[in-house]
Amino acid sequence: LYTAPDSCEGRCGEPFSEEDECHCHPECQGHRNCCEDYERHCGPDGFSSSRDSITDQELLELSEQLYRLDHNKARPSDVAINPQHLAGPDETGDEQDRSPQPLYKYVNEELFSKPTYASFIKLLDNYQRATGREEEVTAEELREQDRFLEEVMKTELMRRLLAFLRGKNRYGSEQEFVEDLKEMWFGLYSRGDGEQDSSGFEHVFSGEVKKGKVSGFHNWIRFYLLEKQGVVNYFSHNFNGPWDTYPDVLGLQFSWDGFYKEVGSAFIGCSPEFEFGLYSLCFLARPGRACHLSLGGHHLSVQTYPWTKSTYGGGRSFIATAYVMSP
């Protein structure tokens, strides 16, 4: 289902990694382990060039810039969490609630009136969480998708990301970028029974239930709103990031209407555009592999996977999942 990319599109000249199933650096020809389309993309007349590849160092630098540009993030006084029990490796899967109190002690809900938050929250009730059930997308829901993309693109953070990607010849215009974001995140595909039942946005931000377990569900705002309604029950955490301001990172265990999430992860206190932008960057730069970033001087990784069973736009991949990795 999730596989490393087997194409050199956008990967020419990138450093060798054992995680890759095929390679796109110049030495791959000597080692006979190039991807099949190496010549088409990376040859002298190819579509890509080494100057358009995104280096590890550029990812570290750009992620620090995006971190500084998250002007809509929560201030330390806006969010108070109560992580309680730190679960050991042998405790994460046993479905025991070891934290009697909710995770969120306080959230300043004035945050949610900011345009990117408000348009993001409107999207969360657009989905059937059970896989195998067809998603019916209404005209109103399509407008809500457009509104969210419109609002995030007004932010300095997303303008910086677009400028970087245009500099790498990934997109020729803002319109092209926005249209691609809409497809990769909101385009529907089938996780079960052939129904158009899922999308990257639903999986990552809203959450799904598949085979009796919570799947995806990596967003702190969604978690807070459902915990407040009493349908999410926080059990424990297995990782708490080193950040003393927001965004921070938490690895956590919880149940959603009785369905269990053994090890989830989430940025805490970031704006919707920060998470959306960072995951989009990693999906474009390192699909199917760990994307190594730096936030406020602390290193972390984001893992994304492309959906491999269907494509859009002449072979482009939908997002299957994206999440911050907790060690």
pLDDT tens per residue across span 130-151: 777 788 889 999 999 999 999 9
Instruction: Enumerate domains of the chain plus CATH numbers.
Output: 1-43 (4.10.410.20), 56-325 (no CATH)
Name the CA dihedral angle for 162, 243, 296, 78, rounded to a multiple of 10 degrees.
60
94 Cβ contact list (under 8 Å, min separation 6) = none
What single-letter amino acid sits at 44? P
pLDDT tens per residue across span 218-261: 999 999 999 999 999 999 999 999 999 999 999 999 999 999 99
pLDDT averaged over every residue in the chain: 91
Catalytic residue numbers? Answer: 203, 218, 261
Question: Cβ distance 21 to 57 under 8 Å?
Answer: no
State the Cα–Cα distance between residues 137 and 143, nearest whole angstrom: 10
pLDDT at position 44: 66
What single-letter amino acid sits at 73? K
Residue 156 predicted with pLDDT over 80: yes
User: How does residue 327 score in pLDDT terms, banded at 50, 70 and 90?
Assistant: low
318 against 46, higher pLDDT: 318
